[in-house]
Structure 1
Amino acid sequence: MADGQQLGRLLLIQIGDGGSPTETFTNLCGLKTRSFNMSASEIDTTIPSCTNPGGPVQKTSRPGISNRTFSGSGNFVSSAASDIFMNHVRAAEAFNAKVIVPGDGTYTGSWMVTDFSFSGDVEPNMEFSATFVAADVLSFTAEA
């Protein structure tokens, strides 16, 4: 692989098992497509010139609320880790997870599932899709 390029399959979400004092994180298995979005709302700070109000106006902004979202879909794989994950989904509760972004780093903290669905046809494997959003402030560890 060329220098600097990263494999998309290494973009992962790991679900925490809730263990104490040491929590174990396990890959959410079965994902074939995945994406991680970082965005912020835009706060308009534009002010027309006080000395030349009829002149051109330069739009200006500052960052507002930041948003971190992970989404993925693929084959549903039944396991102890998926049981833990599905219990969180059914209870509509926040849980600890890590999103590992190759070439960037790891976003760790409380996440929640805002959208989950199962799907399937007659012959292929049952599939699922899920959207995760940060439920609290995340910590970031840059890739070494």
Structure 2
Amino acid sequence: MADGQQLGRLLLIKVGDGGSPEVFSNLCGIKTRSFNLSANEIDTTIPSCTNPGGPVQKTSRPGISNRTFTGSGNFVKSAVSTAFLTHVRNSEAFNAQVVVPGDGTYEGSWMVTDFSFDGDVEPNLEFSATFVAADVLTFTAEV
């Protein structure tokens, strides 16, 4: 692999066990994944007071930030997936880490806003999930 390139399969979500100290384990089976860093755009545009008929330059500032992880793949039954599904069923927040290769780790409270199981007659049972930050996350840069 060329210098500096990262493997997509290393973009991970790790679910915490709630212990002290907390241990984070990979949510296994995810084949397709993405992590989104975005912020709302707050329009700060003001037409010129001295030349109100002239061109107007659009300006903005960042608003509410959003951190979202989505993943889908084969469902693998394990202690981690059982604990994860309990959080999903109970609509509760839980501690997790999103590890972004080449960037760092986003850790804190997450919740699942969308979860589904999918399956046909022959292939493995699959799942998909969307995770959003449930509280302010901490970021630790990759060293």
Q: 1:79, CA displacement in angstroms?
A: 0.4
Deviations 1:96-128 (A, max 9, x none): 000000000000000000000000000000000
Match of 1:65 in 2: 64
Amino acid at match of 1:101: V
Instruction: Extract structure 1 runs of 4+ deviating beyond 4 A.
Output: none
Q: 1:51, CA displacement in angstroms?
A: 0.4
Q: 1:139, CA displacement in angstroms?
A: 0.1
Instruction: Provide the secondary structure at the position in 1 that maps to 2:85.
Output: helix
* Structure 1 stretches lacking a partner, 5+ long: none
Q: 1:64, CA displacement in angstroms?
A: 0.2
State the TM-score, normalizing by the size of structure 1. 0.99
CA distance in 1, matches of 2:93, 2:79: 18
Match of 2:13 in 1: 13
How many residues were matched structurally?
A: 143
Match of 1:100 in 2: 99
State the TM-score, normalizing by the size of structure 2. 0.99
CA distance in 1, matches of 2:22, 2:140: 17
Q: Percent identical across equivalent pairs?
A: 83
CA distance in 2, matches of 1:28, 1:80: 10
Instruction: Provide the secondary structure at the position in 2 that maps to 1:50.
Output: coil
Match of 1:2 in 2: 2
Structure 2 counterparts to residues 27-46 of structure 1, below 5 A: 27-46=26-45
Instruction: Provide the secondary structure at the position in 1 that maps to 2:5.
Output: coil
Instruction: Provide the secondary structure at the position in 2 that maps to 1:88.
Output: helix
| RMSD of Structure 2 on Structure 1 (CA) | 0.3
Q: 1:90, CA displacement in angstroms?
A: 0.2
